[in-house]
Amino acid sequence: MTSVEINYLAVFVSAVLIFLLGGLWYSPLLFAKQWMSAINKSEEELKKDAKPTNYLVAFLQGLISAYILAIFISWAQAATPGSGAWIGFMCWFGFAGTTSLVHSIFAGRHSKLWMIDTGYTLVSFIVAGIILALWK
């Protein structure tokens, strides 16, 4: 197996940025209104259902994604913003984007919801890919 070099600080920083991007992405500044409409929930309902563990899980998801992305970036020996972004895009396209699309179709969800959610994942993977490729 090919050796893997991982900068754990870069993974952690990427996870923090993924988490913060999620806060921005689903905020009133960007897509909160459209997302709430697509899931048919009000702000009050979301606040009522919000639990600290939800945010912990969201952060852990970003940490795991950044770690696995760091492995792929190491294997590919990516060291430029373009190569990091490309690997982030390909991971999104090959794993997250296509998988979530199929789930969305079979669940009968509105395509707007898929675009909002997968757009966040796409941007997260690209940003993390750039950071991880540059910060070895």
Domain hosting 63: range is 8-134
- What's the domain count of the chain? 1
CA distances from 49 to 37, 43, 45, 54, 116 (A): 16, 10, 6, 9, 20
Is there a domain that residue 49 lies in? Answer: yes
Is there a domain that residue 3 lies in? Answer: no
**CA 64 – CA 36 distance, rounded (Å):** 26
Is there a domain that residue 2 lies in? Answer: no
pLDDT tens digits in sequence order for the chain, 136 residues long: 678 999 999 999 999 999 999 999 999 999 999 999 999 999 999 988 889 999 999 999 999 999 999 999 999 999 999 999 999 999 999 999 999 999 999 999 999 999 999 999 999 999 999 999 999 7
pTM exceeds 0.85, yes or no: yes
**CA 47 – CA 56 distance, rounded (Å):** 16
The tokens for 127 are 């940003």
Is there a domain that residue 26 lies in? Answer: yes
The tokens for 20 are 């913060």
Is there a domain that residue 1 lies in? Answer: no
